[in-house]
Amino acid sequence: MQGFDRKGMAARLAQDIPEGWIVNLGIGIPTMVGDYVPLEREVIFHSENGILGMGPAPAADKVDPWLVNAGKQPVTLRPGGSYCHHADSFAMIRGGHIDLCVLGAFEVAANGDIANWATSENDTAPAVGGAMDLGAGAKRLWVIMEHTTKDGRPKLVEQCGYPLTTPAAVKRVYTNLGVFDVVPGKGFVVVDLAPGLTLEQVQSVTGAPLHTQ
């Protein structure tokens, strides 16, 4: 089963972001989502290091060393963008002013738990960054990730095995195999499957029941 490639996943998620939303994109595949929101659809990207209205990566010869995103990659600022300090930036997050946060994850559970920062309780020096603030603070949290690990184990599960980032926070998951809502009291509900895939196929690599709408 292949489904979407990473670009396809990012493009699929980008379709669902309406104009006017304020969106924080995590490191990795989430960052790619920005490339698939056309500039004329005004979505305001927030970066936790104090940028509101972030634009795409600059041309190689236009890199500004002062201007990086949360992944420390060079970015640009759109007209209308602004800068603030870290406490103000996380006030935006913690105060519920971010419409959408998109994160990657190791696992998402059927109750919306997300694990994306530490690979075991014994990982004694994991890097949490802003993930817990974003998980707890954004108005809605969507996850974008491969449907299974490299060795084929499901990442949509009944219960997370890894240490949690935020309990009961994920509203929707985008994977290479489809799009799944997390519905309280029910679990994963299929919104969309990648072209050519059947529910049975996708269920066979998912660690929790997939419901239909």
Partner 1 sequence: MINKIVQSMADAMAGIKDGSTVLIGGFGAVGQPDQLIEALIEQGAKDLVCVANNAGNGRVGLAKLMELGRVRKIICSFPRSAGSVVFEELYRAGKIELEIVPQGTMAERMRAAGAGVPAFFTATSVGTILAHGKEEREFNGRRYVMEHALKGDVALVEAWEGDRWGNLTYRSSGRNFNPVMAMAADLTIAQVSHIRELGELVPENVHTPGIFVNRVIHVDRGPAWA
Among 9, 22, 177, 210, binds partner 1 (CB under 8 A): 22
- CB of 196 vs partner 1, minimal distance in Å: 37
22 sits in the region (left: phi over 0; alpha: psi -120 to 50; else beta) called beta
Residue 178 is a binding residue for partner 1 (CB under 8 A): no
Stretch that binds partner 1, among 5-13, 28-36, 122-130, 191-199 (CB under 8 A): 122-130
Q: For partner 1, which is the closer residue by CB, 7 or 41?
A: 41
Alpha helices in 16-147, H assignment, sequence order: 29-33, 86-94, 131-137
Q: Which residues in 144-173 contact partner 1 (CB under 8 A)?
A: 163-168
Residue 46 within binding range of partner 1, rule CB under 8 A: yes
Catalytic: which of 19, 42, 48, 200? Answer: 48
| Nearest CA among 24, 19, 25, 23 for reference residue 42 | 19
Comparing CA positions, the residue from 152, 157, 161 lying closest to residue 170 is 157
Q: How far is the CB of 43 from partner 1 (least distance, A)?
A: 9
**DSSP annotation of 135:** H
* Binder of partner 1 out of 31, 47, 116, 148 (CB under 8 A): 47
Minimum separation from the CB atom of position 131 to partner 1 (A): 8
Q: Tell me if residue 34 falls in helix, strand or coil.
A: helix
The rounded Cα 66 to chain-centroid distance in angstroms is 25
Q: Which residues 55-114 are close enough to bind partner 1 by CB under 8 A?
A: 64-68, 72, 77, 79-87, 89-98
Is position 48 annotated as part of the catalytic site?
yes
- 46: CB partners within 8 A, 6+ apart: 22, 23, 24, 52, 54, 89, 92, 93, 98
Q: For residue 56, give the DSSP letter.
A: P
Nearest approach, Cβ of 184 to partner 1 (angstroms)? Answer: 15
Structure-token match 């010869």, residue found: 61
Known catalytic residues are 48
Contacting residues toward partner 1, per CB under 8 A: 19-20, 22, 42, 44, 46-53, 64-68, 72, 77, 79-87, 89-98, 118, 121, 124-133, 136-137, 163-168
